[in-house]
């Protein structure tokens, strides 16, 4: 089975909050759902937010555009939610990546994705509460509103992964089958090879198991990860309780450089 198994720490350890003093050339990589926005019953329930938009604009100025959103959502969905205010985006867990200059790199859909689309769509039609999501390069079945279906959804996704070679990505109350390719860690690595991220220290914020690849990449490249949510085994070195705490921390980071202890 082509399932992703992120490397994580052996035990759940509570972690300190991230510092307000970051390296002078730090770069921020931010997940969306569960990090910049609370988890909602339906993905479509998350939309543009004035406070978040202001924070993103200030961070882009403060960090000289070394800001990227790295999410499982599609690129059009992210542009809608972020109001088009973030040029650098990795979508569908890194399968689609838009650089700061607007160039987009993506892959053709896996040949068996259509079968997965049909089967997961039929499952969603058969069970009230299941929500099917199509991201072009992946398809997902959310069971947040039908938790009793978790075992059946995961089993169906595992069988499809085994039969097709699609990558099974398990997230927060969702099973996703996606075209093989880059993950969030690979997206961070790719950004750091390009302007304006070249030579910067990566800081990755995320809440889900899918973000562990981003945490690991940030650590490997001289930075660190910040877990959002309850303590759990993780590659992150810091933790914040909720998206509200994330926005508070980001607002403080967006303050003028002389207001923070920014290090060289």
Q: What is the pLDDT of residues 238-259, one digit of tens each?
A: 999 999 999 999 999 998 765 5
Q: Are residues 127 and 193 both part of a single domain?
A: no
Please report whether residue 38 resides in a domain.
Answer: yes
Per-residue model confidence (pLDDT) at position 256: 72
Q: Are residues 206 and 80 both part of a single domain?
A: yes
Q: Are residues 32 and 101 both part of a single domain?
A: yes
Number of structural domains (the chain) is 2
Please report whether residue 12 resides in a domain.
Answer: no
CB-based contacts of 10-16 (< 8 A; 24+ apart in sequence) = 10/233, 11/233, 12/231, 12/232, 12/233, 12/234, 13/231, 14/231, 14/239, 15/227, 15/231, 15/234, 15/236, 15/237, 15/238, 15/239, 16/238, 16/239
Q: Are residues 34 and 133 both part of a single domain?
A: no
Q: Are residues 94 and 78 both part of a single domain?
A: yes
Report the C-alpha gap between 213 and 197 in whole angstroms. 18
Give the pLDDT band of residue 23 (cuts 50, 70, 90).
Answer: very high
Segment 186-198 mean pLDDT: 97
Domain boundary among 154, 178, 202: 178
Q: Are residues 217 and 165 both part of a single domain?
A: no
The residue count for the chain = 264
Q: Each residue of 108-167: pLDDT tens digit?
A: 999 999 999 999 999 999 888 999 999 999 999 999 999 999 999 999 999 999 999 999
The CATH number of residue 127's host domain is 3.30.70.1020
Report the C-alpha gap between 88 and 65 in whole angstroms. 8
Closest CA to 7 of 217, 258, 248, 177: 217
Please report whether residue 64 resides in a domain.
Answer: yes
Distance set, CA 187 to CA 88, 174, 184, 206 (Å): 11, 22, 5, 14
Q: Each residue of 37-78: pLDDT tens digit?
A: 999 988 899 999 999 999 999 999 999 999 999 999 999 999
Single out the catalytic residue among 14, 31, 112, 183: 31
For the question of residue 31 being annotated catalytic, the response is yes
Q: Are residues 187 and 250 both part of a single domain?
A: yes
Domain boundary among 132, 158, 178: 178
Give the pLDDT band of residue 10 (cuts 50, 70, 90).
Answer: very low
Per the listing, tokens 């003093």 go with 21
Please report whether residue 138 resides in a domain.
Answer: yes
Q: Each residue of 92-118: pLDDT tens digit?
A: 999 999 999 999 999 899 999 999 999
Please report whether residue 239 resides in a domain.
Answer: yes
Per-residue model confidence (pLDDT) at position 12: 56
Q: Are residues 231 and 146 both part of a single domain?
A: no
Evaluate if residue 171 carries a pLDDT over 50. yes
Please report whether residue 205 resides in a domain.
Answer: yes
The CATH number of residue 228's host domain is 3.40.50.1000
Whole domain around residue 117: which residue ranges? Answer: 113-178
Give the pLDDT band of residue 8 (cuts 50, 70, 90).
Answer: very low
Q: Are residues 221 and 91 both part of a single domain?
A: yes
- Please give the backbone phi and psi of residue 135, each rounded to the nearest 5 degrees, phi first: -110, 20
- Please give the backbone phi and psi of residue 29, each rounded to the nearest 5 degrees, phi first: -120, 120
Q: Are residues 103 and 117 both part of a single domain?
A: no
- Summary mean pLDDT of the chain: 91
Per-residue model confidence (pLDDT) at position 128: 87
Helix 212-220 vs helix 184-191: angle between axes, to the nearest 10 degrees? 40
Domain boundary among 131, 152, 178: 178
Q: Are residues 86 and 120 both part of a single domain?
A: no
Closest CA to 74 of 51, 98, 54: 98
Please report whether residue 172 resides in a domain.
Answer: yes
Q: Are residues 141 and 189 both part of a single domain?
A: no
């Amino acid at each position: 089975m082509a399932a992703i198994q992120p490397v994580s720490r052996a035990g759940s350890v509570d972690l300190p909050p991230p510092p307000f003093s970051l390296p002078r050339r730090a770069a921020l990589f931010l997940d969306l759902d569960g990090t910049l926005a609370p988890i909602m019953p339906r993905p479509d329930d998350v939309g543009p937010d004035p406070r978040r938009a202001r924070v993103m604009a200030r961070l882009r100025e403060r960090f000289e555009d070394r800001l990227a959103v790295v999410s499982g959502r599609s690129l059009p969905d992210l542009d809608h939610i972020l109001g088009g205010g973030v040029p650098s985006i990795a979508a569908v867990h890194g399968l689609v990546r838009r650089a700061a200059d607007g160039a987009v790199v993506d892959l053709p859909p896996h040949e068996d994705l259509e079968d997965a689309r049909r089967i997961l769509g039929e499952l969603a039609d058969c069970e009230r509460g299941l929500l099917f999501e199509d991201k072009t390069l992946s398809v997902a079945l959310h069971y947040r509103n039908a938790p009793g279906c978790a075992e059946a959804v995961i089993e169906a996704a595992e069988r499809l992964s085994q039969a097709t070679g699609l990558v099974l990505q398990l997230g927060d109350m969702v099973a996703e089958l996606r075209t093989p390719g880059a993950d969030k860690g690979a997206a961070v690595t790719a950004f750091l090879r390009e302007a304006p991220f070249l030579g910067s220290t990566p800081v990755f914020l995320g809440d889900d198991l899918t973000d562990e690849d981003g945490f690991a990449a940030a650590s490997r490249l001289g930075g660190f990860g910040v877990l959002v949510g309850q303590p759990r085994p993780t590659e992150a070195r810091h933790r914040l309780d909720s998206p509200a705490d994330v926005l508070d921390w980001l607002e403080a980071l967006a303050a003028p450089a002389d207001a923070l202890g920014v290090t060289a």
